[in-house]
Amino acid sequence: MGLGSGLRIGWALTKKRSVVVNIAGQKLTVKSDADETYIRTLAGYLDRRIEEVRSSSRPASSQKLAILVALNLADECFQERRKRGELKQRVRDKASDILTYITKEQRKHASTKN
C-alpha cells in the first residue's frame, strides 16, 4: 500500500484510526485508514533516513535536516519511477517480440497446410 492508496495523514474523511509514532524524537499521532503496521513501518523508515542524514551532514537546523531528507526521498522516488518505466518498456518490447514470433510461426504453419 503506497501513499496514494490509503495513507492520508489527518485529512481524508474516511474511517480513521490513530497511531502514535516516534520520528526523530518527536511523538506524532497519525490518523489514517491505513494499516497500523504499515504506518509504523513508514515511520521507522523515515526515522532511519533522518538519522542517516543527520549523522552524515550535520545540518544546522531541523528545517535544513527536513529539506535534505525530503530531497533524498524525492531522489529515491524519481529513481524508482525511472527504473519502473525502463522495466515497463522492456516488458513491452519483449511482448512485441513474442507476438512477432507467434505471428511468423502461425503464417509458416498456415502456409505448410495449404
Whether residue 111 sits in one domain with residue 77 = yes
Whether residue 107 sits in one domain with residue 88 = yes
Overall number of domains in the chain: 2
Q: What is the pLDDT of residue 8?
A: 52
Q: How confident is the model at residue 80 (pLDDT cuts 50, 70, 90)?
A: very high
Whether residue 66 sits in one domain with residue 51 = no
Which of 33, 58, 83 is at the close of a domain? 58
Give yes or no for residue 13 having a pLDDT over 60: no
Residue 69: closest CA among 37, 42, 46: 46
Whether residue 94 sits in one domain with residue 107 = yes
The mean pLDDT value of the chain amounts to: 88
Higher-confidence residue: 92 or 110? 92
Give the C-alpha separation, 32 to 4, whole Å.
12
Give the C-alpha separation, 101 to 84, whole Å.
26
Whether residue 68 sits in one domain with residue 46 = no
Whether residue 38 sits in one domain with residue 72 = no
Whether residue 54 sits in one domain with residue 38 = yes
Give the C-alpha separation, 76 to 100, whole Å.
36
Whether residue 106 sits in one domain with residue 71 = yes
Lookup result for grid cell 524508482: 80
The amino acid sitting at 94 is K
Tens digits of per-residue pLDDT, 25-44? 999 999 999 999 999 999 99
Whether residue 39 sits in one domain with residue 69 = no
Tell me the sheet residues that pair with 101.
none
Give yes or no for residue 1 having a pLDDT over 70: no
**Which domain range does residue 28 map to?**
1-58
Give yes or no for residue 10 having a pLDDT over 90: no
